[in-house]
């Protein structure tokens, strides 16, 4: 714990933990995105002070929540409640809707509550007009909306601070406590979060204890102040996983025989060919083979085809590339498309550059040419470092919670894939170690070998096994995709 003595900070946070928890009551949703679901939400302050009190208009924003009733016989109560916190930043809760079958198997008899954290989905947005559902692009920015949205945010740079991780954490705290207040009985409640959502839940737990029986972190973020894994290093994280995938091909007799040479040797030759042949490069989505293959690492079925795609590109074929593109399209489509699905790019930029990109302070004069040199010898890359370099939106100052950990945590399960190209396995191990050493609570790591990011989606059988054991109070087991 930094900046404030642990006991003093804990006392302050505990005293203010329930100041803004109001009951939530659900009614049938007015939209048709998920028939049968119920909707609610809370009007929340635009900003909170250090004690969790409203600053200015106490009802300046709205946070949307969708509820899916428990799959239990009529008249029977739910066995429990699971809150699902999406990643991003900028992602809405809609990313979970198509995954309800896996969730129902993993948490039988549970009801599911899925919020859109501020700045996403149907909750209050950064650009009220341009990101409204009635705008030309719907929740996504389109055409001239990019310019007007960005210009408006730069006119009032202090507004960015209202969409910080800490402000969203206060919202989540109020939602969970408010929902418990509305119930006459108290079935066990749990919180599940993925990727950036794990950072948001960690921040929420810093504000004070939550009335939940346990927390599940899927694809846990690394320690916030460790420069090895900040977002400017994403290409290096991606490349580490990509090289592991190529090494696995070399170690597999059938894969190695199909290539007839080390996979990395083949890949470097293909890279040289694409750089020398504009026609070949034009066939690659985005005209960037390193980025394209880096993106394939997120989808197990596509990842498995990387060696064979390289072989075909070396031979001048196109069948494998077409097949991979179909696989990636189907994978994206499996998450569904809803009016609240589009990612909030302004929120991504503001939170990422404010809290998860250490580059400006470590390398203040870093430029695109520096990224080119930095990535020159990498075989797998991400477009994220260049996107963050562009900036274009204001940031907010880091607060006392930056880089710190909760003083107290409920029983916690971490689900982490060894081939995660976004929140690296080594980073999750470091975060688990830090949480364990802090003695905040019991934290168990369940390793999913050969799995990528977002295990609820990419490794559903392993997710189901780990989750059912966790809610039954059984020790965590490792699994293999």
CATH number at residue 150: 3.40.50.1820
Which residues have a Cβ under 8 Å from the Cβ of 205 and sit 6 or more positions away? Answer: 215, 406, 408, 409
Structural domain includes residue 465: yes
Which residues have a Cβ under 8 Å from the Cβ of 411 and sit 6 or more positions away? Answer: 213, 214, 215, 441, 442, 444, 470
How far apart (Å, rounded) are the C-alpha atoms in residues 394 and 150?
9
Look at the chain and report how many structural domains it folds into.
1
Q: Residue 184: its pLDDT value, please?
A: 60
Structural domain includes residue 348: no
Phi and psi, residue 418, nearest 5°: -75, -15
Q: Residue 185: its pLDDT value, please?
A: 63
Structural domain includes residue 420: yes
Angle at 132 between CA 147 and CA 395, to 5 degrees: 50
Q: Residue 180: its pLDDT value, please?
A: 82
Per the structure, the complete domain to which residue 168 belongs is given by 6-229+404-480
Q: For residue range 281-324, what is the model confidence (pLDDT) as tens digits?
A: 999 999 999 999 999 999 999 999 999 999 999 999 989 999 99
Residue 373, Cβ density class (10 Å: 0-12 exposed, 13-18 middle, ≥19 buried): exposed
How far apart (Å, rounded) are the C-alpha atoms in residues 184 and 126?
36
Q: Residue 408: its pLDDT value, please?
A: 95
* DSSP 8-state class, residue 475: P
Structural domain includes residue 392: no
- Among 125, 108, 103, residue whose Cα is nearest residue 34: 103
Which residues have a Cβ under 8 Å from the Cβ of 147 and sit 6 or more positions away? Answer: none
Here the tokens at position 20 are: 């803004």
Which residues have a Cβ under 8 Å from the Cβ of 152 and sit 6 or more positions away? Answer: 127, 130
Here the tokens at position 422 are: 């976004």
DSSP-assigned beta bridge partners for residue 54: 48
Structural domain includes residue 65: yes
How far apart (Å, rounded) are the C-alpha atoms in residues 116 and 124?
9
How far apart (Å, rounded) are the C-alpha atoms in residues 191 and 172?
11
Contact indicator for 113, 67 with CB cutoff of 8 Å: yes
* DSSP 8-state class, residue 87: -
* DSSP 8-state class, residue 369: H
Q: Which parts of the chain register pLDDT below 50?
A: 1-19
Structural domain includes residue 321: no
Structural domain includes residue 57: yes
Q: Which helix (H) or strand (E) holds 149?
A: helix 145-155
The verdict on whether omega for the bond into residue 55 sits within 30 degrees of 0, i.e. cis, is: no
Q: Residue 17: its pLDDT value, please?
A: 37
Structural domain includes residue 213: yes
Strands 38-44, 27-28: pairing is antiparallel
- Among 377, 275, 285, 387, residue whose Cα is nearest residue 328: 285
* DSSP 8-state class, residue 448: E
How far apart (Å, rounded) are the C-alpha atoms in residues 149 and 273?
41
Q: Residue 3: its pLDDT value, please?
A: 36
* DSSP 8-state class, residue 77: P
Here the tokens at position 22 are: 């109001």
Strand, coil or helix: 471: helix
């Amino acid at each position: 714990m930094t900046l404030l003595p642990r006991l003093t900070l804990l006392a302050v946070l505990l005293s203010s933990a329930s100041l803004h928890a109001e009951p939530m009551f659900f009614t049938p949703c007015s939209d048709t995105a998920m028939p049968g679901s119920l909707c609610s939400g809370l009007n929340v302050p635009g900003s909170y002070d250090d004690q969790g009190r409203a600053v200015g208009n106490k009802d300046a924003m709205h946070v949307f929540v969708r509820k899916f009733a428990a799959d239990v016989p009529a008249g029977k109560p739910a066995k429990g409640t699971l809150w699902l916190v999406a990643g991003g930043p900028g992602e809405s809760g809609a990313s979970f809707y198509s995954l309800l079958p896996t969730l129902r198997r993993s948490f039988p008899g549970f009801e599911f509550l899925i919020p859109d954290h501020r700045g996403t989905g149907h909750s209050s947005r950064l650009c009220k007009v341009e990101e409204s559902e009635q705008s030309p692009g719907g929740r996504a920015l389109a055409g001239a909306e990019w310019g007007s949205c960005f210009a408006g945010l730069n006119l009032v740079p202090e507004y960015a601070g209202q969409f910080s991780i800490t402000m969203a954490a206060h919202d989540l705290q109020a939602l969970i406590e408010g929902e418990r207040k509305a119930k006459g009985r108290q079935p066990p409640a749990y919180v599940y979060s993925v990727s950036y959502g794990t950072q948001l839940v960690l921040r929420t737990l810093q504000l004070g204890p939550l009335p939940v029986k346990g927390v599940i972190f899927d694809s846990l973020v690394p320690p916030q102040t460790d420069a090895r894994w900040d977002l400017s290093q994403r290409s290096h994280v991606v490349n580490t996983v990509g090289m592991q995938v190529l090494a696995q091909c070399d170690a597999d007799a059938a894969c190695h025989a199909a290539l007839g040479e080390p996979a990395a040797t083949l890949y470097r030759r293909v890279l040289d060919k694409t750089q020398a042949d504009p026609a070949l490069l034009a066939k690659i989505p985005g005209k960037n083979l390193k980025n394209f293959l880096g993106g394939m690492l997120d989808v197990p079925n596509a990842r498995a085809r990387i060696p064979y795609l390289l072989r075909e590109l070396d031979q001048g074929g196109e069948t494998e590339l077409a097949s991979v593109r179909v696989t990636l399209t189907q994978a994206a489509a499996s998450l569904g498309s809803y009016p609240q699905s589009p990612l909030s790019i302004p929120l991504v930029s503001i939170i990422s550059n404010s809290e998860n990109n250490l580059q400006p302070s470590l390398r203040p004069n870093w430029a695109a040419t520096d990224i080119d040199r930095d990535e020159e010898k990498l075989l797998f890359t991400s477009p994220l470092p260049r996107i963050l370099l562009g900036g274009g939106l204001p940031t907010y100052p880091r607060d006392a919670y930056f880089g710190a950990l909760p003083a107290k945590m409920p029983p916690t399960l971490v689900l982490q894939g060894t081939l995660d190209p976004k929140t690296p396995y080594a980073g999750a191990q470091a975060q688990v170690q830090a949480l364990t050493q802090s003695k905040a609570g019991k934290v168990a790591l369940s390793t999913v070998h050969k799995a990528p990011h977002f295990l609820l989606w990419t490794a559903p059988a392993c997710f189901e096994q780990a989750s059912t054991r966790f809610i039954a109070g059984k020790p965590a087991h490792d699994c293999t995709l």
